[in-house]
Amino acid sequence: MQQDRPARARRRTGGRHPAGVRSPPVAALHGGLLAADGRHGGAPARRRRTARDGGGDGRDGGRGDLAAPPYDPALARRPAGVGRGRGRAGGDLVTDRLPGFVVAGVPRAGTTTVASHLRTVPGVFVPDLEEVHYFTRRHDRGPDWYAGLYRDARPEQVCVDVTPSYVLHEEAVERIARELPDAVVGLVLRDPVDRAYSHYWLNRDKGTERLGFEEALEAEPERLARDPRDLPHGYLTSGGYARLLRRLHEHVPPDRVHVVLFDDLARDPGPVVAGLCARLGVPPPTEPVPARRTNHHGPARSPLLGSVARRLPGPVSRTVRRWNSTPGAYPPMEPATRERLRDHFAADRDELEELLGRAVPWGRAATGRDSGTK
């Protein structure tokens, strides 16, 4: 079976999307907080420890089918580009039991909520491993390890990989395009100002960030210059959505990219889930889709305990982090900082709207959503 992988990896249904012109650098943030050159997000993924299957923590925290049609049973065949969980009898690991849908970004934008909704859809299989990281730090484990995560998927189910850091690493995007040539790639996008603040507090809770928010923004260029793969501290780099989407389109045709906006997910998840099901060719839930808020909590009781928790196995780590969190919201962002970040992301926002063919619900007005939803 593995001998057939190269041939299958070269097969594409829509052809490679022509490489486009990379987006220009995002305008420098006023006040000297950042002078990003847009290159950091494309650095190769850092090889990390592979001894454990640690849980997801967001460390590596044309148009996008934004308005998919309602599900029509008469048209419910498997769309091109969506694979099912299938394999030989007897439970052998096979490399064709692989995802047909990869949620590749972005961290702290609602990807865990999307995964939670998809787990309620009978035609979809999401593994217990919260974030797989196969195309980044676990790629050396090989396709059989990857396929083994989906050994329990039924033949009719679409297998899903939810790892929101993939889109930040160009090497990961290249691997997805090469090894899953028919898969649909999903992105969940959130107001980049709120996303950056949520990302910062996640790192504070884990004990990996000791600077104040404004200090961390000032330090980002130096951190990335020292190690371009230090994307867990790329609070602003990770919010350059237009640049990330253009780079994704260089490897994955736009008709195989599905974009979800956090605001739509938070306001009314039903149509969002129905759109995902229609895109994957599976029936939507028959019951109303309730609103979900995952990974929503206040500051950690103890940063030291948060640092210890991130070294524990996934389920234990999540339990400890949950206990270590406090109820309520994080301290609000300074208004002046929020306004400067609005200016920083303005050019990228305009370009993103052109790529998506619609307006995004964030602009210069402060939203005040500073809480940590992933």
Alpha carbons within 13 A on the beta-carbon side of 359: 3
Beta strands in 51-169 (DSSP E): 101-105, 124-125, 158-162
Q: Which range among 6-20, 49-63, 344-358 has the greatest average pLDDT?
A: 344-358
Parts of the chain belonging to CATH 3.40.50.300: 2-201+210-289+332-356
pLDDT tens profile 236-250:
999 999 999 999 999
What is residue 69's predicted lDDT score, i.e. its pLDDT?
A: 37
- 290 CB-contact burial (10 Å; exposed 0-12 / middle 13-18 / buried 19+): exposed
Nearest to 96 by CA among 43, 49, 153: 153
Percent of the chain with pLDDT over 70: 62
Mean pLDDT (whole number) for 81-88:
47
pLDDT at 329: 73
Its sign, for the CA torsion 53, 58, 60, 64, is: positive
| 211 pLDDT more than 80 | yes
Q: Higher model confidence: residue 354 or residue 27?
A: 354
- For residues 66 and 309, the model is more confident at 309
d(Cα 229, Cα 248) in Å, to the nearest integer? 18
In the predicted structure, residue 60 carries a pLDDT above the cut 50: no
**pLDDT at position 62:** 34
- Both tokens of 366, joined, read 């402060």
Cα separation, 265 vs 109, whole angstroms: 10
| DSSP-assigned letter for residue 20 | -
Backbone angles phi, psi at 261, to 5 degrees: -100, 135
So what's the pLDDT on residue 309? 62
Asked if residue 94 lies in contact with residue 145, where contact means CB atoms within 8 angstroms, the answer is no
Alpha carbon of residue 57 to chain centroid: 11
Residue 61: which pLDDT band, with cuts at 50, 70 and 90? very low
**Cβ-Cβ contacts under 8 Å for 316 (sequence gap 6 or more):** 309
pLDDT in tens, 277-329: 999 999 999 888 877 655 555 565 566 666 566 566 656 766 776 666 666 67
Residue type, 350: D
Computed over its alpha carbons, how large is the radius of gyration of the chain?
20
Residue 297 CB-density burial (10 A; 0-12 exposed, 13-18 middle, 19+ buried): buried
pLDDT beyond 90 at 110: yes
Q: How many CB atoms lie within 10 A of CB 91?
A: 10
Q: Is the pLDDT of residue 40 over 70?
A: no
More confident residue, 9 or 260: 260
36 compared with 231, residue with greater pLDDT: 231
The overall average pLDDT reported for the chain is 76
User: For the residues 65-77, what does the mean pLDDT come to?
Assistant: 37
- Give 198 or 371, the one with higher predicted confidence: 198
Q: How many CB atoms lie within 10 A of CB 320?
A: 16
φ/ψ of 125, rounded to 5, equals -120, 120
2-201+210-289+332-356 under CATH 3.40.50.300, yes or no: yes
